[in-house]
Amino acid sequence: MNMLFFRLHHSLAAPVVLGLLLCGCSAPLTISHLNLTQSYAQADSSALAGDSLSNSTKITLRRYALLDEWRTSPPAAIAALHLRVAGQPSRWQDYFALAELSYLEGKTANSRQDFLAAALYAYAFLDPGATADVPTPYDGRFSQAVNIYNLSLLAAFPQNQDELIQFSSGSQAVPFGAIDLAMDENQLDWHGYRMAGFVPTSNLAVTGLQNIYRNPGIGEPLAAKLNVPEDPNASLVVSPDSWVPANLLLTFDHPRQQLAQSQLHGKLEIHTFDVQQNAQIGQQSVPLEYDQTTAQALALKARAPWSSEISGFLNAATSDNTKPHLIVLEPHQYGHMPIIFVHGTASSPFRWADMVNDLTQDPQIRDHFEFWFFSYASGNPIPYSALQLRKAINGAVAQLGGTQADPALGKITLIGHSQGGLLVKMMVIDPGDKIWNGLFTKPISQLNLTPKSRALFAAGLMPKPLPEVQRVIFIATPHRGSYLAAFSLSQLIGRLVKLPATILDATFEVMNINAKDTVLGKNKLRVVSINGMSPNSPFIKILATIPIVPCVHAHSIIPVQNMRQIASGNDGVVQYSSAHIAGVDSELIVHSGHSTQSNPETIAEVHRILLLQLAQADTPPLCGP
């Protein structure tokens, strides 16, 4: 019996002893090697990147013995952690765990209340207005908390059927109570216009522009839609499709103390990129997050200027009854010097998008210049389009009160690409009757013309320099014509252009009633822009001989495809020898094709010239009025 018990006892004990020995031999602690990608992923893991929590939040849950409860009931775990942290000054760092947990619950349950709570917790962790007990930027939780705050604001407010967010004062519920949010409606006024709605940009991806610019900081980046009333008589028109880079900021005083209460009080603030780069919160100046490029892309997509480039060239007749005007993305501000972009043949203002996107990132450019865009029917005769540009500039300056109201209006920079450069040159020359005499054998006074046609020819072919223009930049400009325009195919395309009735009537009078007094011949279709840019065109030959008035600074940017053969080279449309003119302040040759507006070298040179214009803005002009 005893022997049997002894054998049975040992037979049962052996597995237990063996199990204990095995447990003692296997190490509970292991260390493994990670590659750089795995190492970064582990350190950066959080609810922002997926459905897993950061290591710091897991530590917080374990310290409060709430990890198991979080796995079974996240709302209960968040509520329990809130009770233990809220109102405890020494536990301010645990607000990060509450922010991340609430953010993940907001994503899981699609709950705006949890998203709003996440924003409040993240704000309390950051406490931007405090000078003590705040996270260091070296703490990984700092940037994560900023992102949780910004993205939570994106999800905390509903969007209407047009995907626009409307903000207003009122009470908003959160899982632990509610917050009363005050908002000053005057914040929606922007330079005389009303911001009618907002689109969050954090969840929008932009393609089609070279660089995507975002201003890092706190607050949800938005694009504000402007309410722009139509004014058919205006020469300077704010685009009805304008979107303004804006920022939504939710602030509340003493956040760590307020979170111990069930009723909180805060405010919503709307800021715009051009007005305020930083917000004063308590004793701290805090950078605001903006998404400048996405706001610009929304405006371009709404207007879709590229879709009408070919039709705008061929159907020039449609522009006859419209008043020439300049389009701006924002209203004129006192002291801002206008930069006027003039596109080329079969083109549109869209082609300047990359350049404007890059230039506006420089505060010096942004704070001292503004961008105006001239769009025209590029199939029309060059003198006629130049006349339209002249009328638009004169009208815009007069609309704004003239240089007496703002001296900056007398410091205009014109930038023209390709044919647009020829229009620009027509603004800064004083040819007298030289162009006329090169096209006609008799003075204009001796031709049999109606008063309307006589006035049109005189204004278009005998221009005076615009005194408000101080500087011009020629980009890929065919001063001596484009060899491509001389090809028979180009001439055939030119025959497809439909001209306005005003031009047809004047041309008919010249080619039929006064045919013997012109060197143009009897084909009325030769007046279109392509024919005018042929190296054999009498007009382009004469224009090339007329110098720019000495009052104006001039610069050339000339693209060449083969940098080893510059003198005989071209950009695919214009020969270097045609684009080169003597007497300019500077000439830069860039390795590029004809459409060089997006070329980084071209943009950098325009940037340099504008800074030069800014540095010389207060110096007296080269000659008197």
List, for residues 49-100, the tens digit of each pLDDT value: 888 999 999 999 999 999 999 999 999 999 999 999 998 999 999 999 999 9
Taking alpha carbons only, the member of 272, 286, 269, 253 closest to residue 120 is 253
Would you give the distance in Å from CA 431 to the centre of its chain?
A: 39
> For residue 378, what is the enclosing H or E element?
none
Q: What pLDDT score does 304 carry? A: 61
CA atoms of 245 and 310, how far apart (whole Å): 31
* Nearest alpha-carbon partner for 538 in 423, 440, 432: 440
As a whole number of angstroms, the distance between CA 604 and CA 614 comes to: 15
Looking at every residue in the chain, the average pLDDT score rounds to 86
**HEC letters along 549-582:** CCCCEEEEEEEECCCCCCCCCECCCCEHHHHCCC
User: What DSSP element (H or E) covers 342?
Assistant: strand 337-342
Domains of the chain, residue spans: 52-153, 158-294, 311-431+464-485+529-615
pLDDT of the residue at 245: 94
- Whether the pLDDT of residue 318 is over 50: the answer is no
Q: Find the distance separating the first CA and the last CA of the chain, reported in whole Å.
A: 129
pLDDT at residue 325 in the model:
86
Q: Which phi and psi (to 5°) does residue 178 adopt?
A: -155, 160
User: Do the Cβ atoms of 72 and 245 come closer than 8 Å?
Assistant: no
The amino acid present at 496, given as its one-letter code, is: L
**Is residue 493 over pLDDT 90?**
no
Q: Compute the residue count for the chain.
A: 625
> Looking at the predicted structure, is the pLDDT value of residue 542 above 50?
yes
Q: Cα–Cα distance between 445 and 454 in angstroms, integer?
A: 8
For residues 77 and 69, the answer to whether their CB atoms sit within 8 Å is yes
Question: Does position 125 have pLDDT exceeding 50, yes or no?
Answer: yes
For 531-545, give the secondary structure using H, E and C.
HHCCCCCHHHHHHHH
Per the DSSP assignment, residues forming a β-bridge with 281 are 284
Judged against a pLDDT cut of 90, whether residue 506 lies above it is answered with: no
* pLDDT given at position 532: 74
**Which pLDDT does position 27 carry in this prediction?**
62
State which fold the 311-431+464-485+529-615 domain adopts: Rossmann fold (3.40.50)
Provide φ and ψ at 362, rounded to 5°.
-90, 120
pLDDT at 8: 43
- Which residue has tokens 């549109």? 348
pLDDT tens-digit readout, 424-483: 999 999 999 999 888 888 888 888 888 898 888 899 999 999 999 999 999 999 999 987
pLDDT band (50, 70, 90) for residue 14: low
Taking only the tens place, the pLDDT of each residue in 332-372 is 999 999 999 999 988 888 899 999 999 999 999 999 999 99
Q: What residue has token string 């980046």?
A: 221
Distance (Å, whole) CA 585 – CA 464: 22
Q: Rounded distance, CA 581 to CA 296, Å?
A: 35
pTM of the predicted protein model: 0.87
Residue 6 has what pLDDT? 44
pLDDT tens track for 208-227: 899 999 999 999 999 999 88
